[in-house]
Amino acid sequence: MCSGLSPVPHPQSHASTGRGAFFEMDDLDPIAIYVLFEKWDPQTESSQDDQAVCRFPGEATSVSNMASEDIAKLAETLAQTQVAGGQLSFKGKSLKLNTAEDAKDVIKEIEDFDSLEALRLEGNTVGVEAAKVIAKALEKKSELKRCHWSDMFTGRLRSEIPPALISLGEGLITAGAQLVELDLSDNAFGPDGVRGFEALLKSSACFTLHELKLNNCGMGIGGGKILAAALTECHRKSSAQGKPLALKVFVAGRNRLENDGVTALAEAFGIIGTLEEVHMPQNGINHPGVTALAQAFAINPLLRIINLNDNTFTEKGAVAMAQTLKTLRQVEVINFGDCLVRSKGADGAESHGAAGLFPQACVWVWCTCQCVLPVGVGVFNISPLGWPWSPGGELAPGQRAARRQLLCH
């Protein structure tokens, strides 16, 4: 995979943390570092794609003939058209669907689409009445598996969103759909909005759910608790039928879940036990919430990606997470950037034996400055790149601990 990388010549200067701190790459020599100058998102880029994210300096990528902007344009074009594989897309068409009349063309396309497996409604705005008639059309679409319904309530009052979601959920339940993916990201529905799809989550339509994406929805603590209870009930009901809910991907960044909301969700995660990816950045989580998540992660042995960027670990949270990471054998991507681990947290993690335990050939440690360290066989550390350097260029104790862990591989 990533063995044999040489240190990459550093640029003239490089901002490390966004907090005004700078460092010289020579300070880290001989650690092999590859700098990603374009932002990499673990939700969309595979850490296993060595050709894309791990290569020798100067080595051509597998997409050298196609600029990233061209790829983005191609993806956007495909997303705006009806494509093979049972997908019907209205993505980005800026449709304002208030009434049944407004939605008649959408309804006709849904009704005329045989074997509908995926429906994309992103980038439109759907009102209560339009949602009712769309739901009616969905009642005959039992094959539907993927609902890409992010950003589809732009400009709506918060009070409009729950009844619209209730109608759409009832349509799916009536159809006997068995969802694999539900994406409601970028809909600012708040705690009340979670009530709008609570019944759907508890129904047989979600017994088969693998991916639940609720990024940037403003759920808050209350919404997090409602969501946790719904997932727990879904698992209980599906287990009673002999096929327990096997959720693999959970995304809920920027939701103000805080410790109480996250703790409730952690309990649900511990019951489910099948998670492979968890993305919960920017949620105001402190060490009690981090500790609750760490305990839940320990009961999810298939975890590959953990993204808790921009929360607050401190020493207590770092130690709790280190203890859990010792038990996880499939981890590929860890994003703990901007988590205030600090020197004491790094020292605490090291003292609890978190170094050198991952079996993967590469563990990607995501830093505040967007550098990726191919650290050899198994290292738990938060890169020292995100920590303040001590006067005179000396490494603080936590930085020395992290450096030792890096150099030992």
CA 26 – CA 111 distance, rounded (Å): 62
- Phi and psi, residue 193, nearest 5°: -65, -30
- At 240 the pLDDT is 98
Long-range contacts of 156-163 (CB under 8 A, 24+ apart): 156/125, 156/126, 156/127, 158/188, 158/189, 158/190, 158/192, 158/193, 159/192, 160/127, 160/128, 161/187, 161/189, 161/192, 161/193, 161/196, 162/189, 162/192, 162/193, 162/195, 162/196, 163/128, 163/131, 163/196
- At 391 the pLDDT is 33
Low-confidence residues in the chain, pLDDT < 50: 1-66, 74, 78, 81-84, 356-409
Q: How many CB atoms are closer than 10 A to CB 39?
A: 7
* Contact (CB, 8 A) for 97 and 121: no
* Contact (CB, 8 A) for 292 and 265: no
The residue among 197, 95, 153 whose CA lies nearest residue 107 is 95
Indicate if the alpha-carbon torsion angle 407, 35, 7, 395 is positive or negative: negative
Verify cis geometry, omega within 30 degrees of 0, for the bond prior to 30: yes
Superfamily of domain 25-59+68-407: Ribonuclease Inhibitor (3.80.10.10)
Q: How many residues are listed for the chain in this entry?
A: 409
First to last CA, the chain: 15
- At 379 the pLDDT is 35
- At 340 the pLDDT is 86
CA 329 – CA 389 distance, rounded (Å): 32
* Contact (CB, 8 A) for 77 and 108: no
Helix axes 220-240, 190-202, angle to 10 degrees: 0
